[in-house]
Structure formats: structure tokens, C-alpha cells
Chains A and B, each alone.
Chain A
Amino acid sequence: MGEPIRVDPELRDLVPGYLTRRREDVVALREALAEDDLATVALRGHKMKGSGAGYGFDRISEIGARLERAAQSGDADEARTRVDELESYLDGIELVNE
């Protein structure tokens, strides 16, 4: 069952690109974690935290914040869990145009 997200009409044409880039984040984050590159994980998390809710995806901001915190405290396992959470969240999104 997908999670319905209402899309602001002003942002409608930007949202698909935004979600595509988050899918790219999932790949990049897994690569960074495989290389123990927590600085990259923190930076990507920081950016997701800053943009998600602006597009209507509060959950992406939350996951981004947790990712950033996990990376900053050196907790790679927690970061991996958040990347999995991001992926399953993205898989479940259903966009509803307002």
C-alpha cells in the first residue's frame, strides 16, 4: 500500500525530478557506506533534510536528519538502516495532484 502525498500545484513539474534524484541518493549513499565515507553520507543527509519537506515530503527531511546524525556520530549501521528506510519510502510514494 503506497503512501499518498499531495503535490503542491506550484511544484508539480519539479517533483518527479526531485524523487529521481533521491533514488540516485540511495545508490550514492550505499556506495559511500561501502567505502566508509561517512562525510559524504552526512552531507547527503544534510541536503535531504533541507529540501524534503519543502517539496511536501516531510519524511525525506526526517530520514535525512537521522542519516546526518548517524554519520556524524560514526554509526554506519544506523545510517544503513536509514538508507533502507529511504528506499522503501520512495517505493511506496503515491503522488496525488491537488
Chain B
Amino acid sequence: MWQILAVEDDPDVQGLIHRALGGTAELRCVGNLADAAREIERRRPDLVLLDVTLPDGEGYQLCSALQSDESTQDIPIVFLTARGGIRDKVTAFRVGADDYIEKPFQPEELRARAHSRIEKAARRRRRDQVLCRGPLRIDVARHRVSTLDSDGQRDVELTPHEFRLLHHLARHEQRVFSRAQLMEAVWGDTVVLERTVDCHISNLRKKLGKAGEQILSVRGVGYRFESH
């Protein structure tokens, strides 16, 4: 069952949200930003319904925080607010809103919009499970990598660190990473030398053949990935 978190301090509106979504999702309601942040950390929701005017601040703050965190930035956020001014709407979309519903709302419309957002996000997540970059195919769910060359498709055996390194670079195509950034993204707290990154890149290039040419060295900085 879908998990929906409603951040709404008015019990009357909470009642309407329950009627709209209660039967189709596991709905949790909190009345302020602090409780919302705790709830999201405790259990990741599939959708956040967010009021703007809350006792401890404005919903925009939470939206910004979720958007700037890689682990939460793909959670759809639907603002549900009685503020109908154009400036409020623009602010909401600027901080990362996926939708904006003005109160008063009809429960049926809320249900339709919320479901649409959740389904879209789920489709996007499924699609992101497979990255295709030029002749390279990275299946994240199955932890498999294959390349396509003149001899056809070929599976490539990678170590877990090589896989993580390749996935990180390919996922953030065109972005230049320093060795230190790659060490943190791939090895986390484990202490490794900068040379270790270079060794893994070298191994990746050898194993991937032509597809490995998509990993480019950026002189004096580090590495970036560019699709052919």
C-alpha cells in the first residue's frame, strides 16, 4: 500500500484528506514541519501533501530540504494550501513542488492528482533502474552491466566497487568529480588512496572496451562520463 504523509495542522482538512485517500493509501498526518521531518526519516513516504502555513514555519522550507537531499529528492511533493496567489504558486514550484492544489479542494480531485503523482514517480523509479549510455547498459536492480559492440551484446563482470563507481559517473553524466568526491561516493567512510580511484577507472576502461571510452579524465580535477 502506498505511504502518504500529509503535513496539515487543521483537523478539518485532515478529515477531508482521510476521506479522499484513506482507503487507497496508508495515510499519516502531522501538524508541523518538525514532526514531518521526523516521520520522513522514520519511514519514507511515496508522496508528501504539504500545507504552506504551518505553526513552525512554511511548507516551502521542508520542500527545499527534501529536494536538496539525494535520498529524498525523488519523493513527489504536492502543495495543498489556501494561499492562491501567483507568488505563492511560483515559490512552490521554485522550491521543487510537483503539483499545487488550492484549498478548498474536492476530495475526488485530490485523490486523482495524488495517485497520478505517485504512479508517475513509480514509473520513473523503474525506468531509472536501467541506465543506457551509448553502448553501455547498467541494470541497477540486477547489478549487471553489458556493452554492445560489433560482436553484439556482452556481459561485463565488475567488482562491487567498480560497479558503484561506474554507476555514479554514468548517473551524473557530464558532471566532473574529483577523486575525493568519488572516494566518498563509492567507498564511503572506508579510507582509500586517491590512486585506488585511478586503478578502478583503469580496470573499468579495460573491462568495458569501447564503452569505457565514455569515462573521460579531466586534467587536474578527476573524471567525468560522456555518452557516445
Binding site for B on A (CB under 8 A): 10-11, 14, 18, 21, 46-47, 49-55, 58, 61
A54 and B10: CB pair below 8 A? no
CB distance from B32 to the nearest CB of A (A): 15
Contact digits for B68-106, partner A, Cβ 8 Å, 1 yes 0 no: 000000000000011000000000000000000001111
CB distance from A23 to the nearest CB of B (A): 13
CB distance from B109 to the nearest CB of A (A): 10
Within 8 A of A (CB), among B95-128: 103-107
B10 and A53: CB pair below 8 A? no
Which residues of the partner chain A approach B105 to less than 8 Å between Cβ atoms? Answer: 54
A49 and B12: CB pair below 8 A? no
A54 and B16: CB pair below 8 A? yes
| A53 to chain B: closest residue by CB | B104
Known contacts A18-B15, A51-B10, A55-B12; 14 additional CB pairs below 8 A are A10-B19, A11-B19, A11-B107, A14-B15, A18-B12, A46-B53, A46-B82, A47-B12, A50-B10, A50-B81, A50-B104, A51-B104, A54-B16, A54-B106
| A46 to chain B: closest residue by CB | B82
| B18 to chain A: closest residue by CB | A14
